Amino acid sequence: MLSDPAGALAALDPAARAYLDLLMRCLTREAFLDQEWWDADLRDWPGGRDAVLPLLRERDWRVVRRGDPAARAEGRDWPPTAETMIGTARLANVAECCVAALRDGVPGDLVETGVWRGGTTVLMRGVLAALGDQDRRVWVADSFEGLPVPDERYPADAHLDWSDVEVLKVDADAVRANFDRYGLLDDRVRFLEGWFADTLPGAPIERLAVLRLDGDLYGSTMDALTALEPKVAPGGFVLVDDYGGWPSCREAVEDYRAAQGIDAPIHEVDWTGVWWRKP
C-alpha cells in the first residue's frame, strides 16, 4: 500500500520534521526574507531589459522586490542568495515525495536534472539524513553553465535561446560549497557535469525513487525523461518543475507520456509544478 505524499512530513517524528522545516526555510531564505534584496540586472538578457520585461510580467514574475513572501512561496523570483528558486510549495513537495518514497520502501536514488545553486538536491540529501538512510545517493545533474543553445532537433525550443542568461550559470564548485554549508557534502552526493544529452544516457544510476526535472526547455526535459524515467522504480515519483510555466516543457512531458503510454494521473503542486507516481 503506497502512502499519500501530502501527509508524509506531518507523519515524521518531531525532530526530523523540525530539521526539514528549518532546512527548507533556510534554502528558500524564507527565514531571512527581510534581508533579501534583488535589483535584477536584466541587461544581460538577449534583447535587453525592454525585451524581457513584458515576458516576465506575463508570467507574473517578480523582479524587484524586497522580501516578497508571496513571490518566494510561489517560486516566482530569482533569489539573490537562496540556494533554490523553486519556492516553498514545490520544495515541500520534493520533501514529501522523497519521504514517502523512503517510507514506502521504494528502491533507488534521488536525482534532479537542472539544479542551479543546488538547493533542491541539498534538501534531498537532507531527507536521507533526517530519515537515517545509509545507502541512497543524490545525483546532481547540470551543465553548470546555464541553459543550452536550443537543439535543432526540438522545434518547440526554437525561440528559447536563454544560453546567455548569466543568472542561470552556477559552477559546480559553488554548488558543492552550498552542500558543504549545510554539512551535507559527502560521497553519496554525485555530480553529473555537462549537457543532459551527454551525461544522462550513460550515467551510472541503476534505479531511481525520485526523478525531478527542472531544465525548462523541451530538449532538456525530453533528454532527461528518455534517459532516466525508465529507471524510476514502481511506486517512485516523477516531479516536473516547469509543466505549467514553460509550454515547451509541458509539450515534452505530454509527448513522452503519450509515446510511453503513461497514464498515471498528474497532480498539481502550484502554478507550474506537477508530479506523478509510477504504478
- What residues line the site for ligand SAM (CB under 6 A)? 84-86, 112, 114-116, 119-120, 142-143, 146-148, 168, 195-196, 214-217, 220
Q: CB of 167: closest distance to ligand SAM in angstroms?
A: 9
Q: CB of 14: closest distance to ligand SAM in angstroms?
A: 27
Q: Rounded distance, CA 128 to CA 187, Å?
A: 13
Q: Which residue is nearest to ligand SAM (CB)?
A: 114
Q: Which is nearer to ligand SAM, 4 or 198 (CB)?
A: 198
DSSP E strand boundaries for the chain: 37-39, 64-66, 109-113, 138-142, 189-193, 208-213, 232-240, 267-268, 274-277
Q: CB of 40: closest distance to ligand SAM in angstroms?
A: 15
Do 89 and 72 touch, CB atoms closer than 8 A? no
CA–chain centroid gap for 91, Å, is 8
Q: Which is nearer to ligand SAM, 8 or 85 (CB)?
A: 85
Q: Which is nearer to ligand SAM, 147 or 208 (CB)?
A: 147
Q: CB of 263: closest distance to ligand SAM in angstroms?
A: 27
Q: Which is nearer to ligand SAM, 182 or 235 (CB)?
A: 182
Do 242 and 147 touch, CB atoms closer than 8 A? no
Q: CB of 147: closest distance to ligand SAM in angstroms?
A: 5
The set of cell numbers assigned to 136 is: 541512497
Q: Rounded distance, CA 151 to CA 160, Å?
A: 10
Do 192 and 224 touch, CB atoms closer than 8 A? no
DSSP E strand boundaries for 52-196: 64-66, 109-113, 138-142, 189-193
Q: CB of 178: closest distance to ligand SAM in angstroms?
A: 11
What is the helix, strand, coil percentage profile of the chain, to 5?
A: 45, 15, 40
Q: CB of 273: closest distance to ligand SAM in angstroms?
A: 11
14-27 and 119-130 helices, crossing angle to 10°: 170
Q: CB of 234: closest distance to ligand SAM in angstroms?
A: 25
Q: Which is nearer to ligand SAM, 116 or 275 (CB)?
A: 116
Q: Which is nearer to ligand SAM, 112 or 233 (CB)?
A: 112
Q: Which is nearer to ligand SAM, 119 or 236 (CB)?
A: 119
Write the Ramachandran bin of 87: left for phi over 0, alpha for psi from -120 to 50, otherwise beta: left
Write the Ramachandran bin of 233: left for phi over 0, alpha for psi from -120 to 50, otherwise beta: beta
Q: Which is nearer to ligand SAM, 8 or 120 (CB)?
A: 120
Q: Rounded distance, CA 257 to CA 271, Å?
A: 21
